[in-house]
Amino acid sequence: MTQTIEPGNTEVPTTPAATTPDGPAAGGHPVSPAAGAPAGHPGSILPAALKRRVPKYSDLAPLMQFKKPEFSRAARMRRASTIWDLRDIAKRRTPQAPFDYTDGAAEAEITLRRARQAFLDIEFRPGILRDVSSVDLGTEILGKPSRLPVGIAPTGFTRMMQSEGEYAGSQAAAAAGIPYTLSTMGTASIEDVAAAAPDGRNWFQLYLWTDRDRSLELIERAARAGNDTLMVTVDTAVAGARLRDVRNGMTIPPALTLKTVLDASYRPAWWFNFLTHEPLAFASLSRYTGTVADLINSMFDPTLTFADLDWLRETWQGKLVVKGIQTVDDARKVVDHGADGVVLSNHGGRQLDRAPIPFHLLPEVSAALRTDNSDAAIILDTGIMSGADIIAALALGADFTLIGRAYLYGLMAGGRAGVDRAIQILETDMLRTMALLGVSRISELTPDHVRLLPR
């Protein structure tokens, strides 16, 4: 039988220590407050645990556990709890020019700030009393499974950030069971990346050149190397004004000027790695010397039209994804021209400043493609710095996400171990966020889990 005790039950004494069987105290007199009893509580007795005493060594000994300082790469990675922590480590270990190339964006960098702010301007709406003892982050993207709903985006000049470059990225992605995308401007060849991560799912990102024969050669090499997805980038008719690179005198490869030599004096590990490994070689050309902007403007084709997309669709037999979509109309058009997926992206804010924010565009594109009964994949990048950002994007309609800077910060912080740590951080974030939302599978996420806050 269950007994219920109501609040304030007069049968339950409230101050046992201050009562006796015969009343308040022997003789009917109230008990005097104990020495040191809190004011306003007559009759209370100070518990022994609250009486001051001289500490004993036996009490202090368990608290005096001084750890030996650890300076290894593994220890450095363990201390990083967020992508922002990896960024801080990367900034300390990487010369200014390559760090700024990764960290910076175009012109006043308004687009990048807005993209990151977009993920902050949301409110999660959790469900309670759901069984989240087991959370599954697995999903399917472009016809194949991925253990996590995030892949590695194409990034140029990656071995300039840290000497392990694309090899670290592709191997970490393979180990995590997620796709890796090699850039046309990557600093490892298509074949070398395939050999470095033979069990990974490798995609290839293509910039269409003015020289179509060179583009066709790249497409054929990607197919022979086992890449199942071709990602064509369409937002680089000309180079964006990346002012940090201009101010740093950024060149490919980095030039040993007086400024860079001084910068190297307190980042010797980066320069030692850079100078003692094979010089930068590109996925698409053997060598290049000059500025990034000059390279883009000399190679990329500003005359691209939807007819070129049709040509790609006829040429490439695998999955075709178009990266750089920034309007609903363009998302619909590229799907109509045969794209299997779209990447909502403004190139990480590195091309047109004040460009549309992919996260803001996401609900509209998702609704439009659903209306069209399209099964095209919706992939989102730009601004992602946590696993919670990824979960928010999936809830609002993305099928998948890509990370660029987030993994490059890990690469610069610790090579392959740093990329592994970046992926681990995002996975931990996603698992925690899903559980706290009351969701155990990606398919259970809906727009009801996220509210966009007014600004």
Could you tell me if 182 and 191 are in contact, meaning their C-beta atoms sit under 8 angstroms apart? no
> How many CB atoms sit inside 10 A of residue 438's CB?
16
Helix (H, G, I), strand (E, B) or coil at 392: helix
DSSP assignment of 354-373: TPPPHHHHHHHHHHHHHHTT
Could you tell me if 183 and 156 are in contact, meaning their C-beta atoms sit under 8 angstroms apart? yes
Stretch (H or E) spanning 427: helix 405-437
Pick from 337, 134, 312: nearest CA to 230: 312
CA distance 182 to 188: 8
Contacts of 81 (CB under 8 A, 6+ apart): 425
Could you tell me if 231 and 90 are in contact, meaning their C-beta atoms sit under 8 angstroms apart? no
Q: Is the peptide bond before 253 cis (omega within 30 degrees of 0)?
A: yes
415: left (phi over 0), alpha (psi -120 to 50) or beta: left
Contacts of 41 (CB under 8 A, 6+ apart): 33
Q: Which of 277, 337, 347, 449 is catalytic?
A: 347
Could you tell me if 56 and 45 are in contact, meaning their C-beta atoms sit under 8 angstroms apart? no
> How many CB atoms sit inside 10 A of residue 32's CB?
10
CA distance 187 to 288: 11
| Token representation of residue 392 | 């928010």
Angle between helix 165-176 and helix 405-437 axes, rounded to 10 deg: 20
DSSP summary character for residue 121: S
State how far the alpha carbon of 77 is from the alpha carbons of 68, 89, 320, in Å: 17, 9, 36
277 is catalytic: no
CA distance 384 to 405: 8
What positions carry a catalytic annotation?
A: 347
